[in-house]
Amino acid sequence: MIVIGYARVSTDGQTVEAQKQALQAAGADRIFAEIASGAKTDRKELAKAVKVLGKGDVLLVTRLDRLARSTRDLLNILDAVAVAKAGFRSLHDHWADTTTTHGRLMLTILGGLAEFERELILARTTEGRFRAKARGVHMGRPAKLTRHQREEALEALSLGQASQADMARRFNVNQSTISRMAKKGPAAAGRPGSNNKRSTQVAD
């Protein structure tokens, strides 16, 4: 069994030396260290540390926040460790230890809670979108033309006072925007919810 240590700090003004010393004292045979934000998904030294793990090896960190930026990130990393048939330990977070039955149980529960949280967020987001649409809130791309511009363009086109190209130049939009609006006819000038501040424009 080989213990692979991983140390990380977020900025150049910090040092990994304290972490490296703690990892060595805990029996790390090899240490990968880097300066990188926890939000980065392409932490090269972490990837190297996981890659060298073999069956029965252990990935060791001083604290969980040195390894992952979120519960989902932690679980993804631990999944990669499990695929390598290796274990994981955190010196500070004693419960996060996949080399013990109790630690594996705790992380399994954590994974279940994270999945439950993800489903709740998805459900709330979906419900919120339905409610917004019911209120007439436009959920599409940013507006290109205001309601008055649409009315002006449709009137000019219907009276033959300007071409679609003329109106596109006047309002500084693509001609395709004017073309689609013309196909919709009067409905394009005052669709439901057009009085809502987020719905006063039409997307390109």
Q: Where are the domains of the chain?
A: 3-113, 143-203
The two tokens of residue 83 are 């695929």
Per residue in 14-38, pLDDT (tens digit) is: 889 999 999 999 999 999 999 988 7
- In terms of Cα–Cα distance, which of 133, 152, 109 is closest to 193? 133
**pTM, full prediction:** 0.55
The two tokens of residue 102 are 């109790």
**Residue 188's pLDDT band (cuts 50, 70, 90):** low
Identify the helix (H) or strand (E) that includes residue 48: helix 44-51
Q: What is the pLDDT of residue 101?
A: 83
Q: What is the pLDDT of residue 191?
A: 47
Whether residue 164 is predicted with pLDDT greater than 80 in this model: the reply is yes
Q: What is the pLDDT of residue 116?
A: 55
70 is catalytic: no
Name the more confident of 167 and 122: 167
**Residue 202's pLDDT band (cuts 50, 70, 90):** very low
Name the more confident of 83 and 118: 83
Structurally, at CATH architecture level, domain 3-113 sits in 3-Layer(aba) Sandwich (3.40)
Q: Which of 10, 70, 158, 199 is flagged as catalytic?
A: 10
Q: What is the pLDDT of residue 197?
A: 40
Q: What is the pLDDT of residue 177?
A: 84
CB under 8 Å, gap of 24 or more: what pairs does 155-162 form? 157/182
Whether residue 62 is predicted with pLDDT greater than 90 in this model: the reply is yes
Mean pLDDT computed over every residue of the chain: 80
Least confident of 21-25, 84-88, 168-172: 168-172
58-61 and 143-146 as β-strands: parallel, antiparallel, unpaired?
unpaired
Q: What is the pLDDT of residue 111?
A: 66
